[in-house]
Amino acid sequence: MADEMGVALIAGVSGIVGRGIATRLLDAGWRVIGLSRTPPLPGIEGLEHVPADLTDATAMRQALAQAGSAVTHIFYAGRAPDPDPQAEAARNTAMLVNTVDAVRAAGGPLVHVHAVHGTKWYGSHVGPFKTPAAEDDSRCPVPNFYFDQHDWLEAEGPRQDFTWSTTRPHLLTGFSLGYPHNITSVIAVHGTLCRRAGRALTFPGTQGHFDRVSQVTDIDLLVDAMQWCATTPAAANQAFNIVNADYFRWKDVWPEIAAFFEVEPGGVAPESLTDAFAGAAASWRATAERDGLSEPDINRIASGPYGDGTFAATWDDMSSTVKIRRAGFDRVYSCRDSLLGALAAYRSHRVIP
C-alpha cells in the first residue's frame, strides 16, 4: 500500500467512520484534525478537535482559518439526515462544499478529498436492485446526496487541482458508542434483552430478510480502504464498493450469535425493536448501574428504528468488489468473524454483560 503521511481533516469525527479513520491515521503518524459540533467521546488521543457546524459556510471558514492552512487530505464522513431526500441532498452537498471551501480559503495544500457513500447509491433502501451491484450501474431513481456530492467532486476536483475518491460500504460492523446506527449494536442490545428475559434469541425482522443474501462492511476494512484510496494513484477519481469478502444469510449465522449470548437460537418472530428498546430503557439504566456496565443510556448504544428498518427488507444485498481488487486493494474480512468480533468488543468494553 502506498502510504503518504499528510495532514488529514476529518469531517464527522464523532461518528463510527470518522472515529475509525482518525484512529487509523494517527496510528500511522498523520497529523489529524477532526470536525464535529462536540468532541468525540471517549476522546481520541492525539486528535486536534475543532468544533464546527458544517452547514454554516462562514463559521467553517472562521473555524479553519488557521488549522485548515496545513490540510492535505479531507476525509468526509459527515451527514445531516432529513426526511425529504431533496432537502437532504442539498444540505449534505453544501456541507461538503463548505468543508473544501474553508480549507481552500485557509490556503491548505489540498491534494485529495475522500467521501463515504454507500449502497443506497443502487437503491438498497428502496427495493430490489441488480446484484451484485457494480460501480457503473445506473443510479437509483430516488434523490440522494451521494449523487450530488459525487458530481460536485467530479467537476471541482480538476478545476481546483485535487483528486477525489469515494467508497460505498454496506451495513457497518464494529464497536461504536454514541453512534447507534450500527447493526452490531442493535444485535448486542436485542441479544442481551433476550438473555435477561430467559428466552431464545429470536430474529426480530421478516422471514424474507432472515433468508436472503446479506453483506456487511467491517469498520476496519472501510478505514483500510479509505486510507488506501487517499494515498494510491490507481484510486484517484474513482468510486469503489467496499464490503467483506463473503456474503451470508442471517439464518445461517443466527445459531452462532445465539451461542455468543448463551441462549437457544429462535426462529423469526417479528417485533418492534423501537418499542422493545424504549420499554427497556429504565431497566437497562438500573442494571447498568448495578452491574457496572459502561453505558446506562440504551439510546447511545443502539437505535430501535434503525434495526426495524434494516431487518424489514426482503431483497438480496450484494455488491461487487471486483473493481477495487483489480485496482490493487487486497484486504480480506469475513462477515461471520466481523459480526462475532464486534459483539465481543461490546462485551470487552463492558457495554453488554
Instruction: Let me know how long the chain is.
Output: 353
Q: How many whole angstroms separate alpha carbon 153 and alpha carbon 151?
A: 6
Asked whether the beta carbons of 258 and 199 are under 8 A apart, the reply is no
Q: What is the pLDDT of residue 1?
A: 34
Structure confidence at residue 122 (pLDDT): 97
Rounded (5°) CA angle 306-307-310: 85
pLDDT reported for residue 278 = 98
Low-confidence spans in the chain with pLDDT less than 70: 1-4
CA atoms within 13 A on the CB side of 255: 1
How far, CA to CA in Å, does 67 sit from each of 25, 45, 163?
Answer: 17, 18, 21
Q: What local confidence, expressed as pLDDT, does residue 2 receive? A: 39
For residue 86, the SS3 value is: helix
The rounded distance, in Å, linking the Cα atoms of 106 and 133 is 39
Provide the whole-model pTM: 0.94
Q: List residues bridging with 76 in a β-sheet.
A: 11, 115
| Contact residues for 228 (Cβ-Cβ < 8 A; gap 6+) | 1, 235, 329
Angle CA(62)–CA(65)–CA(13) in degrees, nearest 5? 80
DSSP per-residue codes, 193-227? HHHHHT--EEE-S-HHHHHS-B-EEEHHHHHHHHH
Rounded distance between C-alpha atoms, residue 276 and residue 282, angstroms: 12
For residue 196, give the C-alpha cell.
Answer: 435477561
CA distance 119 to 125: 8
The upper half-sphere exposure of residue 294, i.e. CA atoms within 13 Å in the direction of its Cβ, equals 14
φ, ψ of residue 114 in degrees (nearest 5):
-115, 130
How many Cα atoms within 13 Å fall on the side-chain side of residue 176? 29
50-77 per-position pLDDT tens digit: 999 999 999 999 999 999 999 999 999 9
Query: Could you give the CA distance from residue 314 to residue 158 in angstroms, rounded to a whole number?
Result: 41
pLDDT at 44: 94
For cell 431497566, what's the residue?
A: 283
Cell of 26: 494517527
Q: Where in the chain is the domain with CATH 3.40.50.720?
A: 7-171+217-241
pLDDT at 5: 80
pLDDT for 320 equals: 98
Q: Outline where the chain has alpha helix (H).
A: 16-27, 57-63, 85-105, 145-160, 183-197, 207-211, 219-231, 250-260, 273-291, 304-310, 322-326, 335-348
Residue 271: beta bridge partners? none
Among the four given CATH numbers 3.40.47.10, 3.40.50.720, 3.10.105.10, 3.40.50.300, the one describing domain 7-171+217-241: 3.40.50.720
Decide the pairing of beta strands 171-173 and 216-218: parallel
